[in-house]
Structure 1
């Protein structure tokens, strides 16, 4: 999802929620997964990273489109 200016903070909140959910799902996959530490999770994230949210329409372009 590409956001517009003004909602980057919300996009970052969604990104963090997805990280927590992903880790929770990995922990629930097996008995041994219950001991998945944040360090181990970060190693997994390095191999298969989540896409970071991007602003598709930055403030500069949004101002150019605004008509008063």
Structure 2
């Protein structure tokens, strides 16, 4: 697959991931955290704010493609 096509698909996947994830996380917070103390809100938004990075990282790794083999003497 050409690298430009992979990057286009990856970009569309990441944008979709962020939008859908934000809507789901906000919906869960609205319905489940309405009567919780402030520190529960803080922990929820801290962890939910970091959790989207994992699938985004996998998409970016896929977009980058396989690594080129290292030549002699290179690290």
- TM value normalised by structure 1: 0.48
Greater relative CO (CA pairs within 8 A, separation 6+): 1
> Based on CA coordinates, which of the two structures has the bigger radius of gyration?
2
Higher strand share: 1
Higher helix share: 2
